[in-house]
Amino acid sequence: MTILTDIAVAGIEDQPNNDNNTNNALMIALDVDGTLVDHDGHMSPEVRSAAQAVVASGHDVMIATGRSLNATLPIIEQIGLERGYAVCCNGGVTLRLDPALEAGYQIIHKATFDPAPALKALRERLPNAKYALEDEDGVFLSTERFQDASFGVESIGVDFQTMLDSTAVRVVVFSSDNTSDEFNEAIRHIGLSGVTYSVGWTAWLDIAAEGVTKASALEALRRKLGTDPANTVAVGDGRNDIEMLTWAARGVAMGQAADEVIAAADEVTASVLDDGAALVLRGLL
């Protein structure tokens, strides 16, 4: 069961639909890993400069990432994004950014779900995989000392039953014992239901609440801001970006993206190693 939780009083769902009060600024959604930063987590000076310039230009620039909150905040800081919104956990968490806030941000929307059915099905098929879960308080629980930079915090080792009893915002599964093809076949065989999931470049799986994607969170923000759908731009490279690229009026895939990601986009830029995001961002100035 999906539980949609509005954390702040000024959340997303309780705001009026502003479609009739059109915002003429562009709404620009930017993936992080493989888009703004390379797979070592490095942001080039050219990408940083281009992103900062677009932020300063007054457009509504938003990070839209699978990363959790604490791993997203350094990227927000690097591109000089102090006001506006950001989407984390593949749409599971939405932030409002404002330097007047004590932490510089507040969580305005969080989608949680019961991970037990998916975890049980996955464990039966992938008994040696590593599992991690972000709970509703932003704490990461994991099996087998599973840690990843996208968590943003150090995970806490727990037994599998503790994970089954938890409420999740995000579940991550990684298998070092399977090839990417074997992992994909296992996921297809399981036929996960009641959740939204995306498979990464390797034997990696991200799970969110049913119906929750980057695109669903961005659409809620678009309506809140009153942005014309024609003024939406998205840039990404992963399978978890497919819905976002389809949602945007101008969806741009990075040059190194997989074929199905490129097929979902309206155009393709250069790869992350060739500063493809900077080319797109400079073109918006």
Assess whether the region 2-111+212-283 and the region 112-209 belong to the same CATH fold: no
CATH classification (class only), 2-111+212-283:
alpha beta
| Domain locations along the chain | 2-111+212-283, 112-209
DSSP letter (8 states) at residue 77: H
Q: Is there a contact between 32 and 68 (Cβ–Cβ < 8 Å)?
A: no
Q: Where are the alpha helices (DSSP H) in the chain?
A: 45-56, 69-78, 116-125, 160-164, 180-190, 214-225, 242-247, 259-264, 276-283
Chain segment 263-279, per-residue pLDDT in tens: 999 999 999 999 999 99
**If pLDDT is split at 50, 70 and 90, which confidence band does 283 have?**
very high
Confidence at residue 151, expressed as pLDDT on a 0 to 100 scale? 87
Convert the pLDDT of each residue in 19-43 to its tens digit. 445 668 999 999 999 999 998 999 9
Question: pTM for this structure?
Answer: 0.88
Pairwise CA distance, residues 281 & 252, whole Å: 11
What pLDDT is attached to residue 20? 47
The DSSP-derived string for 167-196 is -EEEEEEE-SSS-HHHHHHHHHHHT--SEE
Residue 244 three-state SS: helix
What's the fold here for domain 112-209? 3.30.1240
Say how far apart CA 116 and CA 118 lie, in whole Å. 6
